[in-house]
Amino acid sequence: MSFSGIYFFEEYSKNTIIHTRQFVFENKGPIKEVLWKAPCCRGDLPFGRMRVRYAVLSDVHGNLEAFQAALKDVEDEGIESIVYLGDIVGYGANPKECLDLLRGKTQAIVAGNHDWGVTGKTDVRSFNAVARAAIEWTISQLDSNDKDFLDHLPLTDDTPSFTYTHSTPIDPQNWNYILGENEALENIKALPSKSLCFVGHSHIPIAFELHGSGCLSKRTSLVKTVVNRERRFIINVGSVGQPRDGDPRASYGIFDEDRSLFFLRRVEYDVVSAQRKILLAGLPPVLADRIGKGW
């Protein structure tokens, strides 16, 4: 008897949503395990339909404790597809460990400015003094294989319906930010129609939607967001390892393609351990302070 795979389902039965996990073996029927049940709402999927859901993570920045907690949450949600939006290194004290944990887990991955700063593709003189000190320290912690991996990361990953990039769809190598409506409108208009773009970089969760009238709307509460696939969207999933929205919990997103829903996830982690490592490594103390406060 050989193991074939694990599959996750959402089933509908008697006004209840049932999330199940099935272990499949060759020459034997599946072994089914119920993960959780909840009352269902109108519009949920019919019995037995497999859902397509993606976890979208960004900006781990060498924070191993936050990364491990986020990946545990992804696993608990029954999600196997992960997209990573860049900056696995920089700021935190475990760049190599985070790289090792990331490799082989993603279906799509793009480079961030700190990743390219480590490889020399982005000039370290373009960073502020604190970020530059962290990059220079990070360079000393990585081997040639690590740097080669970062060096070969693309700036964008595009599909007919999705764009993944760290900074901006327009000129991503310039590492500009999408913070306000002016830069959001310029970038969202550059996307194909009916396109969804996921970004990181600013470490602040936010979403922009371009309506058919040409008007742009902004959303800062992303706990559950309906994504109209007839329109264009840019969604920032925040930062796993160094949030800057006043909430120190790790931030990442889940996109449910079947229901066109985006969920922002916030995950507690051992901040004190991550802070202690930063200080013991001799990195700038402000980097330890900010992950405790989420700024």
127-143 tens-digit pLDDT: 999 999 999 999 999 99
Rounded to whole angstroms, the Cα distance separating 55 from 238 reads 13
Residue showing tokens 């969760």:
205
Please compute Rg for the chain using Cα positions.
20
Rounded to whole angstroms, the Cα distance separating 112 from 156 reads 10
Q: What is the pLDDT of residue 18?
A: 58
**pLDDT bucket at 153, cuts 50 / 70 / 90:** very high
More confident residue, 23 or 53: 53
pLDDT higher than threshold 80 for residue 68: yes
With a pLDDT cut of 90, the percent of the chain lying above it is: 79
Q: What is the pLDDT of residue 15?
A: 45
**pLDDT bucket at 160, cuts 50 / 70 / 90:** confident
What token pair was written down for 211? 């309506």
116 in Cβ contact with 137 (< 8 Å): no
pLDDT higher than threshold 50 for residue 14: no
Q: What is the pLDDT of residue 52?
A: 86
Q: What is the pLDDT of residue 9?
A: 56
196 in Cβ contact with 169 (< 8 Å): no
Q: What is the pLDDT of residue 38?
A: 53
pLDDT higher than threshold 80 for residue 88: yes
175-211 tens-digit pLDDT: 999 999 999 999 999 999 889 999 999 999 999 999 9
Mean pLDDT of the chain: 89
pTM over 0.95, yes/no? no
pLDDT higher than threshold 90 for residue 65: yes
Contacts with 42 (C-beta within 8 Å, 6 or more apart), sequence order: none
What token pair was written down for 177? 């930010």
Burial class (CB in 10 A: 0-12, 13-18, 19+), 47: exposed
The DSSP code sequence of 154-199 is -SEEE-SSEEEESS-SSSGGG-----SHHHHHHHHTTSPTT-EEEE
Average of per-residue pLDDT across 114-136: 97
253 in Cβ contact with 262 (< 8 Å): yes
What token pair was written down for 238? 């925040």
Domains and CATH numbers, the chain: 3-39 (no CATH), 53-290 (3.60.21.10)
Rounded to whole angstroms, the Cα distance separating 181 from 205 reads 14
Q: What is the pLDDT of residue 11?
A: 53
Helix/strand/coil for 243: coil
